[in-house]
Amino acid sequence: MSQTPRVLVANRGEIALRIIRACHEEGLEAVAVYSDADRLSPHVRAADVALPIGPPPPGESYLRVDRLLEAARAGGATLVHPGYGFLAERAHFAAAVVGAGLTWVGPPASAITAMGDKTEARRRMQAAGVPIVPGLTLPITEPAAAIGAAEEIGYPVLVKAAAGGGGKGMRVVHRAADLLPALETAASEAQKAFGDASVYLERYVERPRHVEIQVLADHERTVHLGERECSVQRRHQKLVEEAPSAAVAPALRERMGAAAVAAAAAVGYRGAGTCEFLLAADGSFYFLEMNTRIQVEHPVTELVYGVDLVREQLRIAQGQPMRLPRGPLTPRGWALECRITSEDPANGFLPSTGRIEYLRLPAGPGVRWDGGFEAGNEVTLFYDSLLGKVVVWAPDRAEAINRMRRALQELVVTGVATNQAFHLRLLDDPDFQRAAIDSQFLDRRPDLLEGRPPAARIEALAVAAALAEEEARLRRRPRVAEEGGRDTAWRDAGRREGLR
């Protein structure tokens, strides 16, 4: 067996391929795992060793800790990288990896536990001086008591699952009469999604921007690599990300960065992580949660800071220091990321499944594609709908938007529907172009999601159509002979037509 250290990549799709490439550049070998549905996936061929772990349903493959640890043993891996999703933020998996004598590429299980429970995280952040959204720091145990708490917090309030994110177990409540039904629904949804029905209340911040700070911590220091703006969301699911944010000046970046570093230090963090904040219009910001893993949107930070975050994760896990220079880090240029999903915007963003018949990828200066599929692969309902990410870099935001438009126009996917057309509409929208966005932006702009013009444009088009029809009608009118002309019948017919 090879003497080169091996990393078990406990994931699939684009992030598995991304990690495998980082392993090879870092001088490590990669062990891939795959379900029966993924046996022909690109990440399987890219790895040095690939092992099957079960049927397509995640509960029988990618979520089976025992099978993943067995694959690590069989493949000769000494490190385990969880990627994102699946078991990436499950403390019991991190503990099991360490308990099996392997190296976990990520933060300690204790940090995952502390940040995984939203109310526990809020308590710790409050103690560390990190601003949090006003609200409860303990789960609701008596629904009736929630009514008084909501009154004290002030409506509207947000009911949130304590054990998860992604919009699940979350309800906005505008009045007391709706609170108890919302608690019941959110708790039920949280139980199904996370196996924990605990929920809590916090103030609902109107029209905030969703801004997150990337942190990186080794055994010597913790640093931040600026912000990413993730305000373009549909049902709390991010669709477009960019770095830096048009709303964040250098002074605010340093304040938010310092808060993120304090948050990481409060839980003894190691590796790459992300602190998510709500940024209000007045410049105040509030800790939302910490993602104790690599993020889907990490490439935009890599492009503006010139760092490979996954390689840094691998180095830190092996006890090596990060390669980032000491002192303040400054973003260079602008990066945009569009998530390409197998969803049909024309049909309510319903998932689209089938075989990818043809795939042409964008290329050229400043364009990056992070994908996990190729022509001939099957897109199924077993997993997330993400096909890949188009990421671009340019000297400024306007040029990045233009470059992204060009890249999306080059992308061709046939066999399954995608959200590509949505992204092109968004890029052409004047509000997006001037960065007039917030996390509720798409709630107010269903025209961008559905592909229909906004109400003002519909009205203008209706007026234009009526004028065009009137002009055409006038052109169709027969010429009426002058009074005294010889063709009286023709003249009378013309008059009758004109009166219709």
CATH number of the domain that residue 27 is part of: 3.40.50.20
Asked if residue 407 lies in contact with residue 364, where contact means CB atoms within 8 angstroms, the answer is yes
Q: pLDDT value at position 143?
A: 87
- Helices 298-305, 309-317: axis angle to 10 degrees equals 100
- The CA-atom distances, in angstroms, between 449 and each of 174, 224, 425 are 25, 33, 9
Pair 390, 488 in one domain: no
Pair 199, 218 in one domain: no
Write down the H helix ranges in 233-308: 250-266, 298-305
Boundary-marking domain end, from 147, 172, 203: 203
Pair 44, 191 in one domain: no
Residue 49 DSSP one-character state: E
- The CA-atom distances, in angstroms, between 230 and each of 59, 102, 234, 278 are 30, 34, 11, 10
Residue 438 lies in a domain: yes
Pair 426, 486 in one domain: no
Pair 223, 293 in one domain: yes
Q: Per residue in 22-67, pLDDT tens? A: 999 999 999 999 999 999 999 999 999 999 999 999 999 999 999 9
| CATH number for 250 | 3.30.470.20
Quick one: residue 497, left, alpha or beta (phi over 0 = left, psi -120 to 50 = alpha)?
A: alpha
Pair 441, 464 in one domain: no
Residue 396 lies in a domain: yes
Q: pLDDT value at position 328?
A: 86
In degrees rounded to 5, what are phi and psi of residue 459?
Answer: -65, -45
Q: Per residue in 214-243, pLDDT tens? A: 999 999 999 999 999 999 999 889 999 999
Residue 232 lies in a domain: yes
Residue ranges of the chain with pLDDT lower than 70?
1-2, 452-500
Q: pLDDT value at position 484?
A: 46
Q: How far apart are the first and last CA of the chain?
A: 91
Pair 169, 279 in one domain: no
Residue 126 lies in a domain: no
Q: pLDDT value at position 263?
A: 98
Boundary-marking domain end, from 163, 185, 203: 203
What pTM was estimated for this model as a whole?
0.87
Q: pLDDT value at position 464?
A: 57
CA angle in degrees (0–180, nearest 5) for 24-29-33: 110
Sequential DSSP letters for 376-436? TPEE-SSS--EEEEEEEEESSHHHHHHHHHHHHHH-EEESS--SHHHHHHHHH-HHHHTT-
Residue 147 lies in a domain: yes
Boundary-marking domain end, from 158, 185, 203: 203
Longest distance between any two alpha carbons in the chain, whole Å = 110
Which tokens in the block code for residue 471?
């002009």
Overall number of domains in the chain: 4
Which tokens in the block code for residue 385?
């709908």
Pair 76, 43 in one domain: yes
Pair 282, 404 in one domain: yes
Residue 118 lies in a domain: no
Residue 113 lies in a domain: no
Q: How far apart are CA 304 and CA 396, in angstroms?
A: 11
Pair 436, 472 in one domain: no
Pair 380, 424 in one domain: yes
Which tokens in the block code for residue 112?
């995952």
Domain span at residue 153 reads 134-203
Pair 273, 386 in one domain: yes
Give percent of the chain with pLDDT exceeding 70: 90
Q: How far apart are CA 91 and CA 98, in angstroms?
A: 11
Residue 443 lies in a domain: yes
Look up 434 and say whether it is catalytic: no
Options 293, 368, 397, 403, the catalytic residue: 293
